[in-house]
Homo-oligomer: A and B are copies of this chain.
């Protein structure tokens, strides 16, 4: 049935002068220009950033069988066409081939008075308001194809290394994941909330028989998987109900969390470095046209930066060394550095962009600024956390070796006044057949900021969710 050819399979062809190839293409009009005799239509089907030039000879006295006015009026920016014709070598600049139209069917018009995506450039802010149409622009075509490529490369990376993709739950009954504010999930009728005798909401009447939230991380469940299958990874949506209107926060975003039994912190660092290099190489090897477009339009150092990261051996330092370097630095920081404080973005960027001039992995943080589950070092002060810092992005990966000792983990839980009972299933992994293990989390949109050069996280996810916005 299908008998059209995708534009990505045509634009790279090299034809000889005089060689013709009959083809049918389908896509959306990007631009139309021309004169009384001929129209040049740029047709794009979203399979690549390039448009294919359609040459349509117009009806004139000398050419009575040319394309007529009535049809040509319907061919405006945004219209959807099916074009049959001959593919030939193009004499135009910047394109290998073009199609000489023999027959054009207009599937759908796009009224120039109301279609929002006219020829002129649009601001990214405006395009966010029409996120249902912005995938039709070159910019979002590139971003979404790169998003696909990175997701595919991610699955490929883990699959080839024997990891099992584990779907951890989105709806969670434990509001103790500790990574931020959470969304409530309920089927209770908010206009008629059932109450307990004490007057609070009676969640025993809710769908799950208790209060439930949207997950902020699949790590704890991921550890359950790793302690059975050896190596697992998650890749799915996660949620933060923080009221942050910044270019770096989303209420709904995708996260990847590998978790590996028998991996110690060094193995974890090796995996993270291999992983980020694999993703970067994949983009450079498979998506160069899209990268070039974004490099030219948004960030002239994008490709150079990707190549740099891909070649470099990441610097590995402890938090203590990082603090020493920062204190000795001849630089002015807004936030002063002292051993024990959390590093700020300015510090991270100084280390990566000015001092080491390459990605940096920092390990062995003070236990007070890291999560309860990180493996405690013998010094009693630090834990085996690890953050991978990237140029421009800052922290792109955060991970750790996990505390596998039940008593040490329980002590930390008690020190932090956390509800031990809520973690019964998590603690069971330490109670029964515990083992050294490690893992990390990659914010997928953070990665995409790095890969695409975009600067607002709302522009690297198809339909962003943030305060006051859940349209589409």
Contacts and interface: CB of A to CB of B under 8 A. Distances in A.
A167 interface: yes
A449 to B, nearest CB: 15
A201 interface: yes
Contacts of A436: 107
Contact of A470 (B1, B141, B167, B210): B210
B46 A173 contact: no
A79 B404 CA distance: 13
A266 B1 CA distance: 7
A74 to B, nearest CB: 11
Nearest to A199: B191
B432 A141 contact: no
Contacts of A108: 404, 430, 432-435
Interface string A255-296: 000000111101100100000000000000000000000000
Interface string A199-239: 01100000111101010000001001101111100001101
A241 B207 contact: yes
A148 B165 contact: yes
Nearest to A471: B173
Contact of A141 (B45, B133, B140, B229): B229
Nearest to A132: B425
Interface size class of A (residues with CB under 8 A): 35 or more
Interface of A: 1-2, 4, 6, 8, 26-29, 45-47, 78-80, 82, 107-111, 114-115, 132-133, 135-136, 140-141, 144-145, 147-148, 151-152, 155, 159, 162-173, 181, 183-188, 190-191, 193, 200-201, 207-210, 212, 214, 221, 224-225, 227-231, 236-237, 239, 241, 243, 251-252, 254, 261-264, 266-267, 270, 404, 425-426, 428-436, 461-463, 465, 467-472
Given A132-B224, A166-B462, 6 more contacts: A1-B270, A4-B262, A107-B404, A141-B228, A191-B200, A209-B469
